[in-house]
Amino acid sequence: MIKKIYGMMDAQEKEDHAKLIAHEINAYLRRIYKELKPKKNLKPQKVKASNIIMKHASLGATKMWEFRPNPRARAAAGDVGQIIIVTRGLESEAVRKQRALLIAAEFYVYHSFANASDPKLYARIRNQNQYLDILKKLFGIHPSHDIRDKAIRYVVEHIGEHKIAHYSGEGWTTSIARLEKHYPDIASAVGSSEKVFKEIFRKQHQKLGAEMLKQEEDLVRKEIDDIDHLLEVLEGHKKKNHGPKFKKLIKIHEDNLRTLRVALAQVAKNIDSWVLVDKEEHKELAKKVITMREIHKLVQEEAEAEEIDINKIHIIFKYFKKEKINILRDIELLDRLSARHNPKKQ
C-alpha cells in the first residue's frame, strides 16, 4: 500500500519506466520537431533513458519532474540536460502520457530558446527553482517559470494535444498555463503563431476527467504514435549490420507492431461505435497474463464489433505497456551491439 501511494519502484522498475517514458517523450518530440518551425531550423533531438533520473518523492512534492538545464551552448546543440522524474503516477497510462507530453514540450522549449537570437531568453527560463518560485509568488513577485510555461502551452496546442494536457481525472496530473493574450516573442521563439494562441484561448478552460478522456481518441492515437516511433527505430536497425538472429527479432517485433497498429487504427476510426461501460469481464481481464498474440486478438475483436468496449481497450493497453518495455530492452541491446561494431559513429 505504501509503495503504491508513494509510487516507489525498485531498481529494475525504475530502469524499465525510464526506457518507457523516454520512448513516449521521443514520440512526442518526433511530432514537435516536424510541426513547429522556428526561425532557426533545429536538428530533431531525442531523450535518452540515461538522461533521466527516476525518484519517488514525499506527498509534499510540488512538481512531478524537473530539468537540470545545461549552459546555453550545450542546450543549443541539443544537449539540454538531465531530467528528474517522480515515479508516482507513472503506472497510470493517462498520467504518464500527460507527463511525457509536457516534458517533451519543455525539452523543445529549452532547445529552441537556446537557439533564439536573444541570449537573454534562455537565461530567463534556465535560472529558475520551483521552491523559490513558490516563495516569489507568495510575495507577489513574477515567478521565473512563467515564460517557460507559456512557451510550453504554445507547443502543446500547436501539435493538437490539448486534451491530454488538460487531463485532471486522478492524482498527480499537472495543470497547464493559461494565456490571457498572445505573446509574439515567445510564439516566434518556438515556431508557433497567433492562430495557435486563438485555439489556446478558446479551449484553455476545459478539463477532462478519467471517464471523459477515455471517450476521446487521443489516448488511442497516442498508442498508434508510439507504435510508429518504435517502427521507425526498428527500421533504422534493419539497415545496420546485425546478424540473422537479431534480424529475425527485428522482423518479429515489426510484424507484431504493424498488426496491432492496423487494429488500433480501425478502433480509432470507428469512434462512433465506442461504448464506455463497466463489465464483470473487465475485472477478470485485468488479472490475466496475456501475450502479444492475445493482445492482437482482443483488439481485433473489438475493432470488428458493432459496439467497441473502450474500457477493455484501455485495460489491454496496460498489457501492451509491458510488451513495449520488452521491445525497448531489445532495442537497447541492438544499440549496444551497434556501438560495439561502429565505435566511431557513436
Task: State pLDDT tens for residues 265-302.
Answer: 999 999 999 999 889 899 999 888 889 999 999 999 99
- Residue 171 pLDDT > 70: no
pTM above 0.85, yes or no: yes
Contacts 24+ apart (CB under 8 A), 254-260: 256/292, 256/296, 256/323, 257/227, 257/230, 257/231, 257/327, 258/231, 259/296, 260/227, 260/292, 260/295, 260/296, 260/299, 260/320
The mean of the pLDDT values for the chain is 89
What mean pLDDT comes out for the span 326-340? 89
According to DSSP, residue 155 is labeled H
Q: How confident is the model at residue 169 (pLDDT cuts 50, 70, 90)?
A: confident
Looking at residue 127, what is its pLDDT? 72
Q: Which residue has the higher pLDDT, 134 or 90?
A: 90
Q: Say what the pLDDT of residue 181 is.
A: 94
